[in-house]
């Protein structure tokens, strides 16, 4: 079933639940066509809640009737898909990868409010910044927190800090607090400055503590540790105090600033 969500004329917003039938697809495409007729740019918001299935007729209709929209891709602005279903979010991410020139984002139900605000243009970014630098009080002990996706513009300041530390030619120690790992901006792969810095860091980082993150991260750190010059260790989220003690072991540091970083 499709329920329309009232919003601005240049936004098509609806909620899907139960079983998606052919009539629902017809309504959705009609809404998009009408919005495109009256606006130069159209934004889409789709909330998928308790979806039980999609009828064969709906699948066929969405493909056959929706094909003409591919010629209008340049007129689509922000697209947000919100769903509690992992398979819906996975399919949406595949679709977003196939539409690289469209601002297409996928959200969980907890992020619904920000997703709709972003589609409306009330939020400049689809998500709050996911990368934060942590204060340590020591130029050679660097720390950051990752809670989401790493965007290129967020990391530029930290890259400058890393470059300054590398230029001093002294060993660097790094702590990464991982709360939620959602990948990174693909633009970083084409950033020559960032790639060159990564090669330099491999020779300058003495210790690297990674705190928290998904379960597979511990295995990755254990695999990489004997293969690189950097001494790498993984700590569970509740072991951050221990991570800081290991990281600053054997060097002078400002305890007050380190305590602030731990509390941050």
Q: Average pLDDT of 200-220?
A: 86
Chain length of the chain: 264
Residue 187: the pLDDT is: 66
**CA pair distance 163, 49, nearest whole angstrom:** 46
**Contact status, residue 172 vs residue 203, Cβ threshold 8 Å:** no
Q: What pLDDT is recorded for position 257? A: 43
- pLDDT surpasses 90 at 212: yes
Q: What is the DSSP letter of 239?
A: G
Q: What pLDDT score does 246 carry?
A: 94
H/E element, 56: helix 56-66
Whether pLDDT at 254 is above 60: no
Say which range, 14-28, 53-67, 112-126, has the weakest mean pLDDT: 53-67
Residue 260's pLDDT band (boundaries 50, 70, 90)?
very low
Whether 92 shows a pLDDT value over 80: the answer reads yes
Ordered structural domains, the chain, with CATH: 2-120 (3.30.750.24), 131-263 (3.30.750.24)
Here the tokens at position 244 are: 């800081």
Q: Per-residue pLDDT for 190 more than 70?
A: no
The distance of Cα 166 from the centroid of its chain, to the nearest Å, equals 28
Indicate the pTM of the whole model.
Answer: 0.61
Q: Is 18 helix (H, G, I), strand (E, B) or coil?
A: strand
pLDDT at residue 255 tops 80: no
Does position 210 have pLDDT exceeding 90, yes or no? yes
- 215-236: per-residue pLDDT in tens? 888 898 888 888 778 899 999 9
Res 65: pLDDT: 66
Q: For residue 26, what are its two tokens?
A: 């017809």
pLDDT tens per residue across span 53-89:
778 877 776 777 667 787 888 899 999 999 998 888 8
Q: Look at residue 181 and tell me whether its pLDDT is greater than 60.
A: yes
């Amino acid at each position: 079933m499709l329920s329309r969500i009232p919003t601005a004329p240049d936004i098509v917003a609806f909620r899907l639940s139960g079983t998606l039938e052919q009539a629902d697809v017809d309504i959705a495409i009609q809404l998009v066509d009408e919005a495109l007729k009256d606006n130069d740019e159209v934004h889409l918001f789709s909330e998928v809640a308790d979806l039980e299935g999609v009828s064969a007729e709906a699948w066929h209709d969405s493909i056959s009737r929706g094909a003409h929209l591919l010629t209008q891709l340049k007129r689509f602005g922000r697209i947000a898909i919100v769903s509690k279903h992992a398979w819906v979010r996975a399919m949406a991410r595949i679709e977003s990868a196939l539409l690289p020139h469209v601002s297409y984002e996928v959200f969980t139900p907890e992020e619904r409010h920000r997703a709709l605000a972003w589609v409306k243009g009330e939020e400049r970014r689809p998500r709050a910044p996911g990368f934060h630098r942590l204060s340590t009080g020591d130029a050679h002990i660097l720390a950051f927190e990752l809670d989401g996706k790493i965007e290129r513009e967020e990391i530029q300041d930290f890259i400058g800090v890393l470059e300054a530390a590398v230029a001093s030619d002294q060993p660097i120690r790094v702590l990464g607090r991982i709360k939620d790992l959602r990948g990174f901006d693909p633009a970083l792969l084409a950033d020559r400055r960032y790639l060159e810095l990564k090669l330099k860091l491999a020779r300058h980082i003495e210790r690297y503590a990674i705190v928290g993150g998904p379960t597979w991260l511990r295995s990755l750190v254990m695999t990489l540790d004997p293969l690189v010059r950097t001494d790498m260790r993984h700590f569970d989220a509740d072991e951050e105090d221990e991570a800081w003690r290991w990281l600053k072991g054997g060097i002078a540091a400002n305890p007050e600033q380190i305590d602030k970083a731990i509390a941050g």
